[in-house]
Structure 1
């Protein structure tokens, strides 16, 4: 099972891909720093940067302890309030010629090759949710770890549209975007961990930690059933 690449490995991988596809063999990775900007988002809280790194149960529990517990279901949710999808393309570009979706596919895949439009044409992708491996980018969905509707219920209803757009395209501040099998993403829908967990049980600990980190970074609340489910998962990690 491949590890999720670090930001440095993402930049190095993108550098290699763009060198291959652009034909600019004299362009160095340092030159690419002038055109690649993975920081397309900024959380509307004081917690910014590459995420909190809550990768162990104790750290995740500490973050969970700091989350607000609220039972809320504000009206008015509409997916268009989180701009990110337009005519099949992510609206927020992560770099010249690469959309956020394409960057996630580059980041989460192995041996990924792209065409002149930065669209992956070959590679291998491992879906963390169900343990399936794919060789066609079209078989992957880009999942929001905390679904947009769930974010709305958890506090995003008070955000500006610009803040919701940054959340929907968050590549850097939290583990929000994942390339996973289309079937697992659609099974999850907008459910929280009190209602849905990945089919692959060995991923539950990392899933819970990532969910909590996103909610912490973006100052989102949890409901009581969600909190209970997260604590139960972490108790077995």
Structure 2
């Protein structure tokens, strides 16, 4: 296992792939099929009305969708899970999310560096899981989607923070591993969870990530989300986010801007 230096809190990179089942690389298995060649795109309108931002209000940008110069490479652009290397902890981001999301106290492996069992309510399927090996940690807005919709303009440190972000409980989710492989890097235009009761929350959280990180929304993505909202009778007012909630997320990003200080060397 290679390690790279990180911030003062003594994190290092884990080389393990983000796909947690048997180190499967999701990108190698499937892709969104979206080429991102559009003549226009959308951004969530941040101008608040009475202190609220509605995630379904967009600015229509009538310009060609900005594309990256370098092809997406998960390891090169985002690195791996960060791991604590302190006397108190050797957990990586995956382990921390598993602990956060478990409804009971987790059981750690003998080393204390990873989670063996717990109780996870997978929002995508609505099923309970008790073995950590059945769970993958999903980036709700996948790394590739983030890269293609704006993260290619960031430096490595910000992309690494995105990959390991724990400023809220929806950016990273503990989900059924096989279902996560189906989701892959799809937007709601290519994947929706089978748990219909989660559908409105799914698209709200998706848009919230896009807002927090100022990521672009493609025309097909916007159309798919609108269709989901209508078909599932989602209350439009439920998509309100307060300006304070957004500031809290942006403050967390600034406070953790140095979480990763050096990109991996290939």
Both proteins in one fold, TM over 0.5: yes
2:83–2:93: 8 Å Cα contact kept in structure 1? Answer: yes
The alignment of Structure 1 onto Structure 2 pairs a total of residues equal to 177
CA distance in 2, matches of 1:68, 1:163: 26
CA distance in 2, matches of 1:124, 1:196: 25
Secondary structure in 2 aligned to 1:171? coil
Residue 113 of structure 1, CA deviation: 2.3
Match of 2:96 among 103, 108, 124: 103
Residue 157 of structure 1: aligned partner:
152
Alignment RMSD (CA, Å): 2.6
1:1-237 equivalences under 5 Å are: 62-66=54-58, 71-74=65-68, 75-85=70-80, 90-93=81-84, 96-111=89-104, 112-115=106-109, 116-173=111-168, 175-235=170-230, 236-237=233-234
CA distance in 1, matches of 2:154, 2:184: 22
User: Any unmatched runs of 5+ in structure 1?
Assistant: 1-34, 38-51, 53-58
CA distance in 2, matches of 1:159, 1:141: 26
CA distance in 1, matches of 2:185, 2:153: 19
CA distance in 2, matches of 1:164, 1:67: 24
CA distance in 1, matches of 2:83, 2:60: 29
Residue 125 of structure 1, CA deviation: 1.2
User: Any unmatched runs of 5+ in structure 2?
Assistant: 1-8, 12-45, 47-51, 235-266
CA distance in 1, matches of 2:201, 2:139: 15
Secondary structure in 2 aligned to 1:193? coil
CA distance in 1, matches of 2:97, 2:182: 20
Residue 103 of structure 1, CA deviation: 0.7
Residue 145 of structure 1, CA deviation: 0.3
CA distance in 1, matches of 2:59, 2:140: 17
Residue 43 of structure 1: aligned partner:
none
CA offsets 1:113-134 (integer angstroms, 9 cap, x no match): 2245242222111111011221
CA distance in 2, matches of 1:79, 1:156: 12
CA distance in 2, matches of 1:100, 1:202: 28
Moved more, 159-168 or 65-74: 65-74
Moved more, 149-158 or 123-132: 123-132
CA offsets 1:150-193 (integer angstroms, 9 cap, x no match): 01110111110001000000111572100100111000111100
2:149–2:216: 8 Å Cα contact kept in structure 1? Answer: yes
